[in-house]
Amino acid sequence: MKYSDLCIYYERLEETTKNLEMRDIVAELFKEVSSDELEVIALAAMGRIYPSSVDKDVGIAGKLMQKIISRAYGATQKEVVEKFKETGDLGKTAEYFCRNKRQRSLMKKDITVEKVFRNLRSLSETVGSGSEGRKEGLVKELLVSAEPVEARYIVRTTIQEMRIGVGEGTVRDAIAKAFGVSSDKVEDAYFKLIDYGKVARIAKEEGEEGLEDIEIEVGRPLMVMLAERSESLEQAFGEYENVALEVKLDGFRGQIHKDGDRITLFSRRLEDKTEQFPEVVEWARECLKPDRCIIDSEIVAVDDSGKPLVFQNLSKRIQRKYDIERLKSEIPVQVNCFDLFFVDGENYMEKDLRTRWKKLCEIVKEKEGKFRLVEHIETDDLEEANKFYQKALRENQEGLMVKNLDASYQPGKRVGYWQKVKEVMEPLDLVIVEGIWGEGKRSNWISSLMLAVRDPDTGEFLKTGKMATGMTEEEFAEITRKMEDLIVKEEGRRVKVRPELVVEVGYEEIQKSPKYKSGYALRFPRMIRFRYNKSPEDADTIERLKNLYNKQK
């Protein structure tokens, strides 16, 4: 497909805000392209370069993009910055200079979608010394061949700021509409493949049957099951006929795949964290009896006496790419297995929890303090449940998971087969979308952070208040470092960033507010911790904010 043809769809999408219309436009696009093209087009529709299962980043932020635009079109950097200030959009900035460029290109030729994606994907492979120049070359090559509208979308895709409002929900429904399959089946298939490109292709070529037949593959991550929040133990307990209670540990979700000697560990965001945890690999080889299996666990940091430590500690290990052996001894961990997806060719996800837990107990050979089964009881006695809960709280655990023993493993969906019970007023997981450089003592830091909730329908992030407290100096420095890489726009002391960073935020109250796009403002928001284990798609939604507001009333 010619990139200019795709851009016609982008423009149509940009012109509407109606969900159904967007779905129809995307469906029309999907129907127009061949199966081979569809894999990339399904991602391109969301402005994504990779499926979410691929942990890669093109590494071009606003500043570098400005430089590339100026070089591609022979404008000065100052002119580019000025135009950017005026439009607030690097895509439109590039479009403008492309239209008025001083250097006529001799290389003008049609660019294809495939060529754009080939170059953009090469960006993430371009590392090491001199990489900035080579990155520049890859994007410039596209920009000099581009028509103005193409330049707009190439730039926006590169910096991951698409502004067309197409999220995963739209793509899911568009695949369903284009190929006459149900949205639920599309979503279930996505939970196994974590790639809407592949799902779209199967829907087109094999229809609903093809989607149903997708097999679990050891080594390829699966979407995990999530929990709903419950008001109280009593309420959660009353939800199901047969209940299992487990301690809710505060660590990180570890999906462990064993294929003979090959162990892979995926985080909740389905990123491959195998290298960061060599001891988990060793234990999994030793403690998981089957030749091939996939299990679900919570990995917690522990102190010398084997007591769990708070999550903050563990995030160092999750993120670190070097010095792994040193961190391994500084921050020891413990694996707590609680569920299972697959054992030796058999899919356990459709079986009930009772069966899954029984099998899990059979296949895990516990290793004291290192690789264990989570504390789990099955009871219909609320008193006993409460004792279990109080004990967990006394041991400084987060709370309890209350699970329906008769339910299958439901990936990705908060359908209410698991409930979590915690003591405190629930904090929110919010995304940082803007910041303001501090003054005086704080002038080296971005010290005021604009927070936003997610709108799952449009993929947009809606502002809900500024946070300037709760952070230590170290955290201010860390957040500034991270935000600097994500800046897409600067205006005086104010910076706009790509919505990437998720933070857990406490607050005193939720108020209605016309000032923010979400319609709500948080009173006295304060930072609790970074949520490096969460992607922006995991952040709390506008729906939840509304519910909390109503509940509070």
Smallest separation (angstroms) from ligand ATP to the CB of 57: 23
- Residues 178-207 vs ligand ATP: string with x where CB under 6 A? ------------------------------
Quote the CA–CA distance of 230 and 208 in Å, as a whole number. 35
Q: Which residues are catalytic, by number?
A: 248
Q: Determine contact, residues 438/469, Cβ cutoff 8 Å.
A: no
Q: Find the binder of ligand ATP among 92, 192, 268, 370 (CB under 6 A).
A: 268
297 bridge partner residues? 254, 337
Could you say which residues in the range 146-175 bind ligand ATP, by CB under 6 A?
none
Quote the CA–CA distance of 491 and 1 in Å, as a whole number. 38
434 bridge partner residues? 450, 496
Nearest to ligand ATP of 284, 401 (CB atom): 401
Q: Which of 193, 7, 172 is nearest to 94 (CA)?
A: 7
HEC-encoded secondary structure of 193-226: HCCHHHHHHHHHHHHHHHHHCCCCCCCCCCCCEC
Quote the CA–CA distance of 220 and 229 in Å, as a whole number. 29
Q: Find the binder of ligand ATP among 54, 81, 226, 331 (CB under 6 A).
A: 226
Smallest separation (angstroms) from ligand ATP to the CB of 551: 17
| Contact stretch for ligand ATP (CB under 6 A) within 100-108, 135-143, 244-252, 312-320 | 244-252
Please report whether residue 393 would count as binding ligand ATP according to CB under 6 A: no
Quote the CA–CA distance of 352 and 241 in Å, as a whole number. 13
Smallest separation (angstroms) from ligand ATP to the CB of 540: 9
Q: Find the binder of ligand ATP among 22, 38, 166, 249 (CB under 6 A).
A: 249
# binding residues, ligand ATP (CB under 6 A)? 12
End-to-end CA distance of the chain: 53
> Tokens 């309420």, residue?
235
- Which residue is nearest to ligand ATP, using beta carbons? 226
Smallest separation (angstroms) from ligand ATP to the CB of 253: 4
Nearest to ligand ATP of 13, 392 (CB atom): 392
Torsion of CA 486, 5, 117, 36, to 10 degrees: 140
Please report whether residue 42 would count as binding ligand ATP according to CB under 6 A: no
Q: Find the binder of ligand ATP among 248, 356, 454, 463 (CB under 6 A).
A: 248
| Contact stretch for ligand ATP (CB under 6 A) within 49-57, 66-74, 144-152, 242-250 | 242-250
What tokens appear for 25 in the block?
A: 């436009």
Please report whether residue 39 would count as binding ligand ATP according to CB under 6 A: no
Q: How far is CA 158 from the centre of its chain?
A: 18
Smallest separation (angstroms) from ligand ATP to the CB of 226: 3
Q: Which of 83, 47, 50 is nearest to 459 (CA)?
A: 47
Quote the CA–CA distance of 35 and 457 in Å, as a whole number. 26
Please report whether residue 374 would count as binding ligand ATP according to CB under 6 A: yes
| Contact stretch for ligand ATP (CB under 6 A) within 71-79, 248-256, 278-286, 356-364 | 248-256
Q: Determine contact, residues 479/446, Cβ cutoff 8 Å.
A: yes
Q: How far is CA 87 from the centre of its chain?
A: 29
| Contact stretch for ligand ATP (CB under 6 A) within 67-75, 213-221, 247-255, 286-294 | 247-255
Smallest separation (angstroms) from ligand ATP to the CB of 135: 34
Could you say which residues in the range 280-339 bind ligand ATP, by CB under 6 A?
298, 338
- Residues 394-423 vs ligand ATP: string with x where CB under 6 A? -------x------------------x---
Residue 166: Cβ within 10 Å count: 25
Please report whether residue 246 would count as binding ligand ATP according to CB under 6 A: yes
Torsion of CA 136, 138, 141, 143, to 10 degrees: -70
Q: Residues in the site for ligand ATP, rule: CB under 6 A? A: 226-227, 246, 248-249, 253, 268, 298, 338, 374, 401, 420
